[in-house]
Structure formats: structure tokens, C-alpha cells
Chain A
């Protein structure tokens, strides 16, 4: 299995809603990432988990809350988002000390 699977593919949520994005990989990768991508822009790093521990938080607002329940799963909990948070949210994984990222297809999030 050489895939990173993200669910849901599309999500529309109101500014008062709470929702979660899910990511799963079975490649044995020990680093997992959340990225945010706006249209026509490169991905922006949000969080990095290494061996299930949060190792990088790129000053992301607290309305985004990551969670890594085990080495295969990564969640992103969303609460009280703003319309400007609408974007493609990408999960990725990589082996530790290797630089080959594998990205999922992303969740297209719209905040209304």
C-alpha cells in the first residue's frame, strides 16, 4: 500500500461547526504532516508529527487542532473556522530521515 488516504474529500462547514479531517497511511512512515494549500499557491506546512509526537507547529491558530492517535492515523480537528480558512488541506507522510513525501488527495474545505 503506497497511498495516503484522506477523508472526507469535500467538506462544507459553518463558522460555528466542529468537524474533523482524517488521514491514514500504511507505508510504515513515521513522519506525518498537515499542509494547507490555497489556489495557485504552493502548500504551506501547518504541523509535523514525528513518531506520533508533535514536532513542528508553524504558528497555526488554535482553531486547528492536530491529533496523532497512532503511527498510521492523523486527524485535524476544526472549530470556529473563518471563511479565509477555506482551502485544500493535504496530509502527507515520509520515512524519518528520508525526504520522499507522499501526499494524499486532500480535503477541499469550504467555510460558510
Chain B
């Protein structure tokens, strides 16, 4: 069964600190790894994404690190701000599907002022 395992389930970080969320996948060819940010009462919004031929991608304060051999990828939020408090989902798209996303369980991030 295709799976993406996400940790931690919840995370509290001080303002200005670095938030790190980790995901790992198993035994399947995935070719696209997006991260979504979801605020309460809203739909998920695409935050940043990476393909497996790249080891790192940075957009502003958000960075994805990708380790293909370990089948792991992580989201780093630098200089975390209270406005970053949200639920974050990692996901992966199987190489044989244009439409399906395999989702991680989500991480609830709280940034303390």
C-alpha cells in the first residue's frame, strides 16, 4: 500500500525559530512532492513542491530538503512567524498517475509569540 508517513503530529516553535516537519515514503515510485498549508476553515494551499531530481528547493523562508536514497523529505520554515501557525501536509504523486495525491497525516504547527 502506498504510504507517506509524516512527523511530528504537532509542533510548537518560538517566534523566530526554525520549524522542521519530516515525511518518509515507502516502496513506490513517486515523482512529485508538494507541501500544503491549511488554515482553519480554509482549503489546503500549495506552499512549495519538489521533484526527485533536486535535493533542495527554497522559496522565501520555506525550504524542502529531499533525500532520494533515504526516501525522506522535509519542510523547513526559517524565522517562523505566528502567521505560519497552520496545519501542514506533505504529499506525493505516484509516477503512474497524473491525478492522485498520497497525503501525510498532517502536522499542526503553533508558533508562539
Interface residues of A (CB under 8 A from B): 4, 31, 33, 40-43, 45, 48, 50, 55-56, 90, 92, 94, 96-97, 99-106, 108
Name the residue of chain A whose CB is nearest to the CB of B6: A42
- Contacting A41 at CB < 8 Å: which of B43, B45, B98, B106? B106
Q: In the bound complex, do residue B103 and residue A43 qualify as a contact, i.e. CB atoms below 8 Å apart?
A: yes
Q: Which of B34, B41, B46, B98 contacts A97 (CB 8 A)?
A: B98
CB distance from A15 to the nearest CB of B (A): 25
- Expressed in whole angstroms, the Cα–Cα distance for A100 and B34 within the complex equals 8
**Pair A42/B99 contact, Cβ less than 8 Å:** no
* Known A101-B34, A106-B41, A106-B43; further 15 A-B contacts with Cβ < 8 A: A31-B98, A31-B99, A40-B106, A41-B106, A42-B89, A56-B99, A92-B43, A94-B99, A96-B98, A101-B44, A103-B36, A103-B43, A105-B42, A106-B42, A108-B41
Give CA–CA (A40, B104) in the complex, Å.
12
Does B80 sit within 8 A of A, measured CB to CB? no
Q: Which of B45, B46, B49, B100 contacts A56, CB < 8 Å?
A: B100
A-B contact count (CB 8 A): 55
28 A-B pairs whose Cβ atoms sit less than 8 Å apart in the complex:
A4-B43, A33-B99, A40-B108, A41-B105, A42-B103, A42-B104, A42-B106, A45-B100, A45-B101, A48-B100, A50-B99, A90-B43, A97-B98, A99-B34, A99-B49, A99-B93, A100-B46, A100-B49, A101-B44, A101-B101, A103-B36, A103-B44, A103-B45, A104-B43, A105-B43, A106-B41, A106-B42, A106-B43
Q: Is B62 an interface residue (CB 8 A)?
A: no
In the assembled complex, the Cα of A90 lies from the Cα of B45 at a distance in Å of 12
With the chains together, A96 CA to B100 CA distance in Å?
12
In the bound complex, how far is the Cα of B45 from the Cα of A4, in angstroms? Answer: 11
Q: Which residues of B contact A92 (CB under 8 A)?
A: 43
Tell me the complex Cα distance, A108–B100, Å. 23
Docked-complex contact B42 and A102, CB < 8 angstroms: no
CB distance from A4 to the nearest CB of B (A): 8
- Closest beta carbon of chain B to A37's beta carbon, Å: 8
